[in-house]
Structure 1
Amino acid sequence: MIYVIITVVAIAANGLVAAATFARARFITANLGEVDLPQGGIPVFAALQAAGAIGLAAGLFGFTMAGIAAAIGLVLFFAVALGVHLRARAYKSLPSPLLFLALSVAALACAVTR
């Protein structure tokens, strides 16, 4: 049951942020500017996060390996995001990638031990 709860939260969080990224929400573009990433990367970042959310959903519906692969991808994505924030010394926006990284690690741990 905890697997389902954590995975659904991860799907919702990543799906909502992916949608906001595709829509170029102000908080997303400001964050990218703060860490000195090009605005041209927005569609790539959004697609990666959306793919992660879709893969996690597939894992819930019996495609276990897709769910595990998606969780690994999200862990890597947010580990890099954390590194980018640290490199840019963007400490005020550091909680966001930390929270998403923790959620992705939790989803991965649940998927692997399921």
Structure 2
Amino acid sequence: MTIVYVLVLALTILANAFEGVAGLVGAAFMKQNAEQVGVPFSWLPILGLLKGAGAVGLLFGLVGVRALGIAAAVGLVLFFVGALVAHVRARVFHNIAFPAAFEAFAIASLVLLITH
């Protein structure tokens, strides 16, 4: 395994695990962002579970279950496309860098899992 492969996947896993837990517990910053982009608070636990599932799937991909890692990365790419669309539709651009960064890491993880 290359250092870049491990580093990118580890950062993607940690970031999505953190966001997943924050969504599950209804962290204040998650509620504030949801309100700004028009996402109901009731969706936060579900969205948190999806991010957490993506993190777990990437972890499996990192330890050798490549197909599961690829599936998780695809799921996260699609998830963050939805997040970016929600930000654009709501015209909330002041913090769009966050879902864009998560999207970039999800894409990088997908590419690395496919090519590794």
- Class of the TM-score when normalised by the shorter of the 2 chains: over 0.9
SS of 2:39 mapped into structure 1: coil
Structure 1 runs (4+) deviating above 2 angstroms are none
1:25-64 correspondence runs (5 A): 25-64=27-66
Deviation (angstroms), 1:21: 1.2
Give the aligned partner of residue 89 of structure 1.
91
SS of 1:15 mapped into structure 2: helix
Give the aligned partner of residue 104 of structure 1.
106
What amino acid is aligned across from residue 65 of structure 1 in structure 2? A
Give the aligned partner of residue 66 of structure 1.
68
- Give identity over the alignment, percent: 39
Native 8 Å contact 2:26 2:45 kept in 1: no
Deviation (angstroms), 1:100: 0.3
SS of 2:94 mapped into structure 1: helix
Native 8 Å contact 2:24 2:46 kept in 1: no
> Take 2:89 and 2:65, find their aligned partners in 1: how far apart are those partners?
36
Superposition RMSD on alpha carbons, in Å? 0.6
| TM-score normalised by structure 1 residue count | 0.98
Give the aligned partner of residue 21 of structure 1.
23
Deviation (angstroms), 1:7: 0.3
SS of 1:92 mapped into structure 2: coil
> Take 2:76 and 2:107, find their aligned partners in 1: how far apart are those partners?
8
Instruction: Mark the runs of 5 or more structure 2 residues left unpaired by the alignment.
Output: none
> Take 1:45 and 1:112, find their aligned partners in 2: how far apart are those partners?
25
Native 8 Å contact 2:34 2:40 kept in 1: yes
